[in-house]
Chains A and B, each alone.
Chain A
Amino acid sequence: NAGVTQTPKFQVLKTGQSMTLQCAQDMNHNSMYWYRQDPGMGLRLIYYSASEGTTDKGEVPNGYNVSRLNKREFSLRLESAAPSQTSVYFCASSGRWNTGELFFGEGSRLTVL
């Protein structure tokens, strides 16, 4: 009963380094999402994918890229990490479009020095 799986769970980067956060879901959901969570800011949408083969920007896409590799997998890439990208990142998926009913992963805590 894995649900949404994210890797890695923790990562420390230096400014300017790149990395990719991986996300996979086993619920056969069409839509997938990447959020970041910062203290006092709630959850903010970075990018989403309505279905395999499509991706769109959310509220805070600058500094990120995404790839919907297949129906199961949706990755988030930081090309040149900045301290402002220190955050907890959550991947989510949904089987019901536009309902807000999301299944979240456990999160990936990223620190950029």
Chain B
Amino acid sequence: GQQLNQSPQSMFIQEGEDVSMNCTSSSIFNTWLWYKQEPGEGPVLLIALYKAGELTSNGRLTAQFGITRKDSFLNISASIPSDVGIYFCAGQTNAGGTSYGKLTFGQGTILTVHP
């Protein structure tokens, strides 16, 4: 089945540093998404990417949909303590019509920010 390889598994950084994480797959996806999960909460959608090569920003977050459709990366600039959490990539396939395409999640990157 489809698998997403997300790296790194964890990051320990100082406040103010930039962060980069990525996701790769052996399969192509129609949509790439990035979610953030804080302790005791459900994942929250940060960014969705719909076209190969697309580069999208949301505040200090920037994500790109790889040109091969098999990868995506997420950058966080000038990290702050509230960036702490688990970041998940996800890839969505489209089955066509009303059929459900599969949404596959990566294993997550645990981000710790030291003040």
Contact = CB atoms under 8 A, between A and B. Distances in A.
B106 A4 contact: no
Interface residues of B, number: 25
Nearest to A31: B100
B92 A98 contact: yes
Contacts of A4: 42
A53 to B, nearest CB: 13
A73 interface: no
B105 interface: yes
Given A4-B42, A40-B107, A100-B103, 6 more contacts: A42-B108, A45-B103, A50-B100, A90-B42, A97-B100, A102-B43
Interface of B: 4, 31, 33, 40-45, 48, 88, 90-92, 94-95, 98, 100-103, 105-108
